[in-house]
Amino acid sequence: MMSHVQSSYSEVSQLRFIDTGASGKRRLQSFLACVAGLIKNPRCDVAHVNVASSGSSLRKILLTEIIKLRRVPYVIHLHGGGYQRFYAKLPRPLKWVVRRFFRGAAFVIVLGRVWEDFVVSDLGVKSSAVCVLPNAVPGPATLNPGERQNRVLFAGKLVSSKGIRELLRAAELVSEDISWSLDLAGDCPDSEIVAAIENSSAPVRWHGWVDQRRLGELMSEAAVFALPSHAEGLPLSLLDAMAHGAMPVVTPVGSIPEVITHKRNGIIVEVNNAELLAAAIEEAFREKSASDSIRFNARRSWETTYSIETYRRSLDKIYCSAIDRRYNNDQ
């Protein structure tokens, strides 16, 4: 998500990105380099702090203490669908630290209303300081006018929490009189799921990990994008599919119901229901006119709400408001 923002253009703000993550043995080194950068670099007007569960929260809490010493307002951007579970498992003292961290932000950006409710009710952030800003992605300027092939695409890690097991079951339930295929794009760390793919009687093609260019090609070719997840924040793959004109078939988890309206710009099915998933796939191919209308509306939703240009303008407004709030507090 932030890589898309980094490549976007604004006449209002200039962004400097600092990586606090890394992995394994390099994590501490990366974190210390980030601390040094915050201390040495010229003063910024506002800090944008991306936060997810576990170590991400703890690192960002420490970094914001340095930011506050420099009297720079910070904006928290909450990512990840598992933050509520992470917070619920914390001991009481750490919960207090997390609440203090969130309440100290000029604004807290969340992906949807469900996260707004959590931030206000559980973390004690004032509702006036919460900004709902859905994810966004870049997309093609135009779509190929030709008819889509009878392809269903799944893009993401092939794990149970993404609904891949029921998608594979659904693929075997689709009527044999329909000529179609299921494309899977992503890594699979589960040997049982790999075996299920290899032994499936359905027309399944597993591409493994693909780069962004190839993923765009697959999305442009697919008539349907299927993501029957058990839990989500707001998946970028869904927005990518909408930008490329594929019809979303998704589950009502996380902020997805705030993006997808059933049978208007997508199809919503129950979680862990292979039968309904198969029925949705069949209907997409049998009812071409209705599917084309849904695909058109999905693309239109992306253009008006989830494009990266719209997103950057919204970010700039939040940054300016955070700076104004600091200025008013200093008076």
Average pLDDT, the chain: 91
CA angle 233, 239, 242 (to 5 degrees): 145
Structural domain boundaries in the chain: 2-136+308-330, 149-306
Nearest to 182 by CA among 217, 146, 155, 145: 155
What is the Cα–Cα distance from 163 to 155, expressed in whole angstroms? 11
Q: How confident is the model at residue 192 (pLDDT cuts 50, 70, 90)?
A: very high
Rg of the chain taking only CA atoms, in angstroms: 21
What is the Cα–Cα distance from 106 to 315, expressed in whole angstroms? 13
State if pTM tops 0.85: no
Q: Supply the pLDDT for residue 2.
A: 76
Burial of 209 (0-12, 13-18, 19+ CB in 10 A): exposed
Domain 2-136+308-330 classified CATH 3.40.50.2000?
yes
What is the Cα–Cα distance from 105 to 65, expressed in whole angstroms? 11
Instruction: Indicate the SS3 state at residue 111.
Output: coil
Task: Please give the class, per CATH, of domain 149-306.
Answer: alpha beta
Question: Per the structure block, which two tokens stand in for 317?
Answer: 């407004």
Rank 44-48, 57-61, 139-143, 204-208 by mean pLDDT and report only the highest. Answer: 204-208
Q: DSSP strand E in the chain: where? A: 47-51, 74-78, 107-110, 130-132, 149-155, 181-185, 204-208, 222-227, 247-250, 267-268
Q: Sheet containing 74-78: which strands, arranged edge to edge?
A: 47-51, 74-78, 107-110, 130-132
Q: How confident is the model at residue 23 (pLDDT cuts 50, 70, 90)?
A: low
> What tens digit of pLDDT does each residue of 270-323 get?
999 999 999 999 999 999 999 999 999 999 999 999 999 999 999 999 999 999
Q: Supply the pLDDT for residue 299.
A: 97
> What tens digit of pLDDT does each residue of 225-234 get?
999 999 988 8
Question: Per the structure block, which two tokens stand in for 160?
Answer: 């149970």
**Scanning the structure block, which residue is given the tokens 């494009």?**
307
Q: How confident is the model at residue 31 (pLDDT cuts 50, 70, 90)?
A: low
Question: Per the structure block, which two tokens stand in for 260?
Answer: 């997808």
Q: At 37, which helix (H) or strand (E)? A: helix 26-40
Q: Which residues pair with 70 in a beta bridge?
A: none
What is the Cα–Cα distance from 186 to 215, expressed in whole angstroms? 10
What single letter denotes the amino acid at residue 96?
W
pLDDT at 22 over 60: no
Q: How confident is the model at residue 25 (pLDDT cuts 50, 70, 90)?
A: low
Nearest to 168 by CA among 155, 182, 178, 180: 182
Q: How confident is the model at residue 200 (pLDDT cuts 50, 70, 90)?
A: very high
> What tens digit of pLDDT does each residue of 209-254 get?
999 999 999 999 999 999 999 998 889 999 999 999 999 999 999 8
Q: DSSP strand E in 120-165: where? A: 130-132, 149-155
